[in-house]
Homo-oligomer: A and B are copies of this chain.
Amino acid sequence: MDSSERRARILSLIISEYVDSAVPVGSEAIRSRYNLSVSSATIRNEMARLEEDGFITHPHTSAGRVPSDKGYRYYVEALMQERDLPWEVKQTIRHQFHQAGRDEEEWIHLAAAVLARAVENAAVVTVPQSPESRLKRIELVSIQDTSALMVLVMQQARVKQQVLIFPEPVDQEQLTAMSNHLNQAFAGLSAADIRRSQVQLTQLEWHVANAIREMMESADRGTYDDAYLDGVRNVLQKPEFASADKMLNLLDVLEQRNLSRLLPFREMPEDGVTVMIGAENEQDQMHDYSVVLSRYGNPDGMSGAIAVLGPTRMRYPQTISTVRFLSQLMGEMLRTYYEDDAPPPRDDAPAT
Which A positions have Cβ atoms within 8 angstroms of B?
101-104, 136-137, 139, 141, 143-145, 147, 149, 151, 153, 157, 159, 161-163, 165, 232-233, 236-237, 241-244, 247-248, 251-252, 255, 337-341
Contact = CB atoms under 8 A, between A and B. Distances in A.
Could you say how many copies of this chain the assembly holds?
A: 2
A233 B255 contact: yes
A162 B139 CA distance: 16
A123 B338 CA distance: 35
Contact of A141 (B103, B137, B163, B337): B137
A311 to B, nearest CB: 15
A341 B136 CA distance: 29
Given A233-B255, A248-B236, A339 B149 contact: no
Given A153-B139, A337-B163, A233 B247 contact: no
Contacts of A243: 244
A339 B242 contact: no
A100 to B, nearest CB: 12
Contacts of A139: 137, 139, 151, 153
A338 B143 CA distance: 7
A66 to B, nearest CB: 21
A149 B158 CA distance: 9
A129 B338 CA distance: 28
Given A139-B137, A143-B338, A153 B159 contact: no
Q: Which 6 A-B pairs have the closest CB atoms?
A: A149-B157, A159-B161, A242-B244, A141-B153, A144-B341, A137-B141
B103 A144 contact: no
Given A137-B139, A149-B159, 4 more contacts: A141-B153, A165-B337, A244-B247, A247-B247
Given A139-B137, A139-B151, A151-B153, A163 B338 contact: yes
A204 to B, nearest CB: 17
B136 A141 contact: yes
A270 B338 CA distance: 42
Nearest to A145: B341
A136 B104 CA distance: 23
A247 B157 CA distance: 40
18 contacts: A101-B163, A102-B162, A102-B163, A103-B162, A136-B141, A139-B139, A141-B153, A141-B157, A143-B341, A149-B157, A151-B151, A157-B163, A163-B337, A233-B252, A236-B248, A236-B251, A237-B248, A243-B244
Nearest to A156: B143
Nearest to A232: B255
A258 to B, nearest CB: 14
A143 B252 contact: no
A101 B162 CA distance: 10
Nearest to A143: B157
A157 B142 CA distance: 9
Contacts of A339: 143-144
